Amino acid sequence: MNYKIAQFILTPPQRGGSVHEIYVAQPDANKEALAGKLFALIEIESNKADSLKVINFLINALNHNYYQNEKMILRERVASIKIEHIFESALAKTNKRLAEFLQSEKIKFNSSLANITIGVVYNDSLHFSNLGKNKALLIYKNKTEENAKYKLADITEQTDGREAKKNISAIKLFSNVVSGSLPRGGYFIFANETFSEYLSAKQILSIITALPPAGAAEQIKNTLNNINAYVPFLGIIIKNTAGELIRDMKTKQPIAATTKASVENLIATEERTEKLLTPPGLINTGGHSSFFSYLADHLPNLRSGKNKGSFILKDKIFSGKKSSWFSFNKILNFFKTIVSYLAAVVIYVYKILSDRKRLAEAAKQAAIDFKRLLIKIKTGALNLFYWYKNLNKINKILFSAFLLCLFIFSANLIWQTAKNNNIASQSAANELITAVEQKQNQIDASLLYNNEDGAKKLLDEVKGLLAQLPQKNQDQKDLYNKLMAKNGVQMEKISRVLRVNPTELTDFTRLNANAKPTSIIFGSQKIYAADAAQKAVYSFDSATKLTTSINLSGQNVSRLDFPSQDKNNNISYFNSNNVIVIDGKSDAPSTLSVNFTSAQPAIIDLKQYNNRYYLVDANSGQVYRFTNSGGKLTNATAWLNSKEDLNNTVGMDIDGSVYLLNKNGRILKYNKGAKVEFALTNIEPAISQASKLIVSQDQDYLYILEPANKRLIVFNKSGLFINQYTSDQFTDLKDFTIDEKGKKIYFLNGAKVYLIDAVHLESKK
């Protein structure tokens, strides 16, 4: 692009009362050619953390709204769409999103304390919007005067006269856009108000016009550092280099030079450049190459006749027009030739294989040819040896020195190439490491200000960069593992992972060596664990720490699934054709028979709520409600208004509404039999192997267990993600139960019961 951009920013040694930032976009070459380069100069006269939030939001929003604008996509195909229209559209969207951001974050933003300049430079054109006291200074020459001096004009004084008097609202921070062309060879300076107060116009002109933008920025910083000021300075310098490129092309073009002289000059320049760039090594190859070239020029021509490999330019110019290679006849002839060759090879091989005598002769001839080859190699080696032996002493020394030099040269070339490759790869690795560390620091800053969306985007970028890091030696592996460990910690922070160290309460194998419990439930200060294989229900008293067993051998037990509790703390388990009930006071078992509505039900879950039982049947795609009457569950009623696909459903719970949990973590919610809209917030990693759902009766929480990922995930009943608990001790996670009054969570892992604190309940006000 025909412009250069440089920036400078000086912060006073003592912390001031303002927050300031300079942003210059770094799009790729294609985006820059299509949309130019976006820049921003922001100063908010407040040192509150809210000001930094606003600045970060403005930069991210502007960058996205401009480069990802729908008009930008159309501009790739429709050239009539102008940059200023896209820029104005991006500003309008940013105004709207800023108002929403301030409202959602509850930030009181005083626009009178903000000095903001947003702009975009594209080819020779410049478009910007200014809010507050920032200066826009134009440095240019008068076109009518050949040796005219540079002049300085303050654009803000010409454009902001009326706008400065208007009250700027938070919704329309950027209401006016200034557009114009940047003169060729001219400069544009955007700076805060203090810049023009501490530097005179003469000083600004002498620095900016005498140095390139990057050098001018450094000179300005050095000059301002010598001033004993306690105010910040920040600015952006933009130079239009189109005029310089044209002047350079005119001045560098030779006036009268022959082709030969141009080539000779080019070769001489190449040789000088090669001498400067050649790294120090064992051998200077340039001198040797010139020596061998001298020998080649003075040796007699061993070939007779003219050099057939030479190329005469006139033969190429006056040769006849070549026919296009992409023609039907040529393609047809090409395939014919291939087919004929393949056929000849197949026929030849077939004849040899089918004729044993000929095959034997061919094998014999191949053996003879191989022996002849070995004899030739041996003879050649002997001839070379005797040739060297017959050389006189001086020739032997010269030839040996030549071989030694050749070996050293080859070794040096290989070593230097390997060294350069190693340096290049190490430099690339260092750049990657620096980029990863910078982005990880940005992630920490985003998390500090609760910008989880921005942190997730940066985390995706870090993953891509980490995948490119080399791991050839132990140091690189250690550094990679260190960066990956930090990446994992940041991922867990974004995913709100709470790594817990659970406390073991009991191990049922101490009571029964063959114990294999499959579920647990908490009721009246006891934890019940069902073990259908041993026809028993184990109980653990949290007060006395006593573990006992309830024998169910007389109940014809084949399964003890879907534990649920009623208001009297009675625990129900679904058996194959009935329901086993454990009395909450005496632990005495009893049974309830069930009249199923279908011959072969596929029972997914059974829960009791408000003295009624609800059963999920995948085969019929229904939730049936039963009435407990006289020791039987009767009057089965289809509760859902219509049949549903429940093949992926793994669990159910009820709090007045019915919630059905699918294996992929999706929850279906029903009120009075009708499906209502309900969705959970996306989390990392996504749920794929959910096994159980618990809906709080008294609190605003949903709990989903996923043993495959060793975690318990907590949402509120609006579907918003709260946090997730995990531990490396969850090696055989089977079930969980919650004591919300005691703020405890119990897990069944193998035959052991673990306890953790429900942190999300403790933090609730």
Q: Determine what percent of the chain is predicted with pLDDT higher than 90.
A: 31
Distance CA 520, CA 744 (A): 14
Is the whole-model pTM more than 0.85? no
Q: Domain 503-762: which CATH class?
A: mainly beta
The answer for residues whose C-beta is within 8 angstroms of residue 559's C-beta and 6 or more apart is 532, 574, 575, 576
User: Whole-angstrom Cα distance, residue 89 to residue 68?
Assistant: 11
415: pLDDT confidence band, cut at 50, 70 and 90? very high
Return the half-sphere exposure (C-beta side, CA atoms, 13 A cut-off) of residue 540. Answer: 25
Which tokens sit at 705? 């267990």
CB 516 within 8 A of CB 749: no
Would you say 235 and 7 are in contact if contact means Cβ atoms under 8 Å apart? yes
**Could you tell me the pLDDT band of residue 158, with boundaries at 50, 70 and 90?**
low
Report pLDDT for 146. Answer: 59
Tell me what the mean pLDDT of segment 254-274 comes to.
46
* pLDDT at residue 763 in the model: 66
Q: List alpha helices for 36-110, DSSP H.
A: 49-67, 70-75, 83-105
319 pLDDT more than 50: no
List residues bridging with 187 in a β-sheet. 139, 239
CA 471, 477, 479, 482 torsion-angle sign: positive
Kind plus residue range of the DSSP H or E element containing 338: helix 328-354
257 vs 461, more confident? 461
Is 302 a residue whose pLDDT tops 90?
A: no
Q: How far apart are the first and last CA of the chain?
A: 57
pLDDT tens digit sequence for 591-620: 998 887 666 688 999 999 988 999 999 988
Q: How far apart are CA 371 and CA 742, in angstroms?
A: 92
Whole-number pLDDT of residue 45: 82
pLDDT at 269 over 90: no
Q: For 525, which DSSP code?
A: T
What is the chain's mean pLDDT, rounded?
82
Segment among 338-347, 357-366, 610-619 with least mean pLDDT: 357-366
Residues 141 and 186 sit within 8 Å (Cβ to Cβ): yes
Q: Please tell me the least confidently modeled range out of 60-64, 225-229, 605-609.
A: 225-229
Q: What pLDDT sits at residue 294? A: 44
- Distance between CA atoms of 483 and 734, rounded to whole angstroms? 34
Sequence-distant (6+) residues with CB within 8 A of 513 are none
> Closest Cα partner for 654 from 717, 609, 701?
609
| 606 membership: H or E segment, kind and range | strand 603-609
Q: Are 224 and 170 in contact (CB under 8 A)?
A: no
Of 223, 243, 242, whose CA–CA distance to 233 is shortest? 223
The residue type of 536 is: A
Position 613 scores a pLDDT of 92
Distance CA 71, CA 90 (A): 10
Tokens of 131: 């809010």
Look at residue 28 in the predicted model and tell me its pLDDT. 86
Return the top range by mean pLDDT from 6-20, 457-471, 747-761. 747-761
**pLDDT tens, 712-759?**
999 999 999 999 999 999 999 999 999 999 999 999 999 999 999 999
Per-domain boundaries in the chain: 3-249, 418-494, 503-762
**Tens digits of residue pLDDT in 677-697:** 999 998 888 999 999 999 998
Task: With cut-offs at 50, 70 and 90, classify the pLDDT of residue 15.
Answer: low
pLDDT for 145: 60
Q: pLDDT per residue over 169-199, tens digit each?
A: 445 677 788 888 888 888 889 998 888 888 8
- Multiple choice CATH, 3-249, 3.40.50.300, 3.60.40.10, 3.40.50.720, 1.10.3720.10: 3.60.40.10
Phi, psi of 696 (to 5 degrees): -65, 140
Per-residue pLDDT of 616-639, as tens digits, reads 999 889 999 998 887 888 888 999
Q: Who wins on pLDDT, 499 or 494?
A: 499
Rounded CA-CA distance 638/615 in Å is: 10
φ and ψ at residue 318, rounded to 5 degrees: -100, 10
Q: Return the higher-pLDDT residue of 160 and 312.
A: 160
- Banded model confidence at residue 519, pLDDT cuts 50, 70, 90: very high
**Torsion angle of the four alpha carbons 718, 720, 722, 724, in this order, in degrees rounded to the nearest 10:** 110
Q: What is the pLDDT of residue 254?
A: 44
Residue 612: Cβ within 10 Å count: 17
Q: Does the pLDDT of residue 266 top 60, yes or no?
A: no
Nearest to 552 by CA among 524, 523, 573: 573
